[in-house]
Amino acid sequence: MAMVVMKSDIDDLALLGGDPAFSEPLHVGRPNIGDRTALLSRINDLLDRRWLSNDGPFVQEFEQRIADLLGVKHCIAMCNATVALEIAIRALGLHGEVIVPSFTFIATAHALQWQEITPVFCDVDPATHNLDPAKVEAMITPRTTGIIGVHVWGRPCAIEALSEIAQRRGLKLMFDAAHAFGCSHCGQMIGNFGEAEVFSFHATKFFNTFEGGAVTTNDDELASRIRRMRNFGFAGYDEVVCLGTNGKMSEISAAMGLTNLQSLDEFIRVNQRNYRQYQQEINRLPGLSLIHYDESEKCNYQYMAVEVDPQMTGLHRDVLIKVLKAENVLARRYFWPGCHRMEPYRSLFPDAYLSLPQTEKLAGRIMILPTGTAVGEPEIEIICDILRTAIANADGIRKWVIA
| Residue 108 binds ligand PLP, judged by CB under 6 A | yes
- Give the chain's radius of gyration (CA, Å): 22
Q: Does position 194 bind ligand PLP by CB under 6 A?
A: no
Q: Of the listed pieces 17-25, 99-107, 219-227, 381-389, which binds ligand PLP according to CB under 6 A?
A: 99-107
105 interacts with ligand PLP by CB under 6 A = yes
Q: Which residues contact 314 (CB under 8 A, 6 or more apart)?
A: 287, 391, 394, 395, 398
213 near ligand PLP (CB under 6 A): yes
Given a contact cutoff of 8 angstroms between Cβ atoms, the answer to whether 326 and 20 are in contact is: yes
Tell me: does residue 149 bind ligand PLP (CB under 6 A).
no
Interacting residue with ligand PLP among 176, 195, 360, 385 (CB under 6 A)? 176
* Helix, strand, coil fractions of the chain, as percent rounded to 5: 45, 15, 40
The piece of 103-111, 162-170, 313-321, 365-373 that touches ligand PLP (CB under 6 A) is 103-111
Q: Give 22 or 62: the residue with its C-beta nearer to ligand PLP.
A: 62
Residue 209 interacting with ligand PLP (CB under 6 A): no
Q: How far is the CB of 81 from ligand PLP (least distance, A)?
A: 3
Q: Does 300 bind ligand PLP (CB under 6 A)?
A: no
**Of positions 99, 107, 189, 363, contacts ligand PLP by CB under 6 A:** 107
Q: If binding is defined by CB under 6 A, does position 256 make contact with ligand PLP? A: no
Phi, psi at residue 289, to the nearest 5°? -135, 125
C-alpha to C-alpha distance for 13 and 19, rounded to whole angstroms? 7
Angstrom distances, CA of residue 12 to CA of 281, 317, 319 = 20, 20, 16
Residue 36: HSE in the Cβ half-sphere, 13 Å Cα cutoff: 0
Largest separation between any pair of C-alpha atoms in the chain: 71
Does residue 229 touch ligand PLP according to CB under 6 A?
Answer: no
Please identify, using beta-carbon distances, which residue of 104 and 389 lies nearer to ligand PLP: 104
Q: From the CB of 296, what's the least distance to ligand PLP, in Å?
A: 24
In angstroms, the CA 96 to CA 144 distance is 6
CB-nearer residue toward ligand PLP: 105 or 193: 105
- Residue 81 sits in the site that holds ligand PLP (CB under 6 A): yes
Q: Is residue 178 a contact residue for ligand PLP (CB under 6 A)?
A: yes
Using CB under 6 A as the binding rule, whether residue 251 contacts ligand PLP is answered as no
Amino acid at 21: A
Task: State the nearest-atom distance from the C-beta of 314 to ligand PLP, in Å.
Answer: 31
Write 290-293 long-range contacts (CB < 8 A, 24+).
Answer: 291/129, 291/153, 291/155, 293/154, 293/155
Distance between CA atoms of 167 and 356, rounded to whole angstroms? 25
Query: For residue 55, what is the DSSP state?
Result: S
- Please report, as residue ranges, which positions from 19 to 38 form the binding site for ligand PLP (by CB under 6 A): none
Binding site for ligand PLP (CB under 6 A): 80-82, 104-105, 107-108, 150, 176, 178-179, 200, 202, 213
